[in-house]
Structure formats: C-alpha cells, structure tokens
C-alpha cells in the first residue's frame, strides 16, 4: 500500500509532468528510492501506468504499462506531433553544442547563458545564419531578424515548454531540465524503430507538449 506522503508525487506525475533533480529535487530523490518506486508503481498499475526513467536516469515520467490498440493509436498521434517540432529542437541543441564548444549535447543541469549565445552568434556569420533559420521555425516562431530578439524568443519558448528553468528572474541564464534528456531519449527510440505501431513496451510520455 502506498504511503499517503507520496500522494502529491503521484498526482504530479499524473498531470503529465517530468521530474528531475532540477525541476523538483524532492520528488526525484523519492523516486530514486526502490521502496518508494515500488509503492508508486503498484498504485499506478490499475491505471496502466508506471514510472519510467531515461537511459541515464536523469528524468522520470509516466509511461504506459501495456500497449493495447487504444494506446498504440495515441502513441502514433503523439509521435506524429513530435516529428513536427523535433528537428528545430535538435538543431538548437547542436547549435548550442557548437557555440559553447561542448563535446556532447546539453543535458539536465547545464547552464545556458543568453548573453554569451547572442555575442557569439553576432560575431560569426555562419552561426548567425543557423540561428535565424532555427528561430523562424514554427515551433520557436520568431519574426525578428535581430539576433538578440531571436535568442530571447527561443529561450522564452524553451522556458514555456519546460526544457529550461530560470532560477533568477533578474538574470537571463537558464538551467536545462530533464525534459531535454527525455527528448534525446525519444530521438534514440525513433531512430531505432523503423515503423509504428510499436510492438514492444516502450516508455513514451503521453501527450508530451512539444
């Protein structure tokens, strides 16, 4: 039987939220405890849900326990929607990787500095052109040709969709959340799977608002 203290955690998950050490450290540390995870999964079982983690264990979210026809249909629609915004998000992550000279894609806990991004894109015509293309995509929806306004719009959209948080409103630095790691996990899945419907159990967040 699940202890009552974990009720808010379960409710938070059922609302479709992603949990990581950045967005909600208390809930995340609870889910890292095997005895808590067992209780939560047992409670979710009648709802055909369970708590899934990405491969690196940096983000938790609800996934389907069994894939019946209705669930497969929902997953097909979900993945179709994701495809429309996946490319601009990946292009953005690759741009950040190049701008900051990283060896890998950004991940939960990384700090993104608006001023640094703006300065480096302004100083590099190639980066500026790539930024403009990304910013004008329907997902980021920037109509400006100004680098500063483009970067601000991109960060605003990332913040609105939970890919970053802004710890201090007086500063424009953002911290990447585990939802970004989920996106990478989803890319891996789509790369490995050649067709949908999926015939095996997979951990895909339902109705993910990309």
Q: Where are the beta strands (DSSP E) in 120-187?
A: 164-165, 173-176
> What are the backbone angles phi and psi of residue 35, rounded to the nearest 5°?
-70, -35
Tens-place pLDDT, residues 93-111: 999 999 999 889 999 999 9
d(CA 170, CA 66): 46
Long-range contacts of 79-84 (CB under 8 A, 24+ apart): 79/190, 79/196, 79/204, 81/210, 82/186, 82/190, 82/208, 82/210, 83/190, 84/138, 84/139, 84/210
* C-beta of residue 14 within 8 angstroms of C-beta of residue 62: yes
Domains in the chain, ordered, with CATH?
84-192 (1.10.10)
How many CA atoms lie less than 13 Å away from 125 in the CB half-sphere?
0
* C-beta of residue 173 within 8 angstroms of C-beta of residue 114: yes
Q: How many CB atoms lie within 10 A of CB 62?
A: 25
Task: Write down the pLDDT at residue 139.
Answer: 92
Tens-place pLDDT, residues 2-34: 677 889 999 999 998 999 999 999 999 999 999
CA-nearest of 28, 29, 50 to 39 is: 50
d(CA 66, CA 204): 12
> What are the backbone angles phi and psi of residue 61, rounded to the nearest 5°?
-165, 165
d(CA 121, CA 24): 32
Tens-place pLDDT, residues 141-190: 999 999 999 999 999 999 999 999 999 887 889 999 999 999 888 888 77
């Amino acid at each position: 039987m699940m202890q009552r203290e974990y009720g808010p955690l379960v409710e938070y998950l059922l609302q479709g939220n992603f949990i990581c050490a950045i967005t909600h450290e208390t809930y995340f540390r609870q889910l890292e405890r095997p005895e808590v995870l067992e209780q939560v999964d047992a409670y979710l079982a009648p709802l055909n849900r369970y708590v899934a983690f990405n491969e690196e264990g940096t983000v938790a979210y609800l996934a389907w326990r069994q894939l019946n026809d209705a669930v497969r249909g929902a997953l097909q629609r979900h993945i179709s929607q994701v495809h429309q915004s996946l490319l601009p998000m990946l292009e953005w992550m690759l741009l950040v990787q190049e701008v900051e000279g990283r060896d890998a894609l950004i991940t939960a806990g990384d700090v993104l500095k608006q001023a640094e991004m703006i300065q480096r894109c302004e100083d590099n015509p190639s980066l500026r052109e790539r930024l403009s293309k990304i910013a004008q995509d329907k997902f980021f929806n920037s109509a400006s040709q100004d680098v500063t306004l483009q970067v601000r719009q991109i960060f605003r959209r990332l913040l609105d969709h939970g890919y970053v948080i802004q710890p201090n409103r007086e500063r424009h630095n953002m911290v990447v959340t585990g939802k970004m790691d989920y996106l990478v996990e989803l890319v891996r899945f789509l790369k490995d799977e050649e067709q949908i419907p999926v015939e095996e159990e997979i951990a895909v967040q339902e109705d993910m608002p990309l």
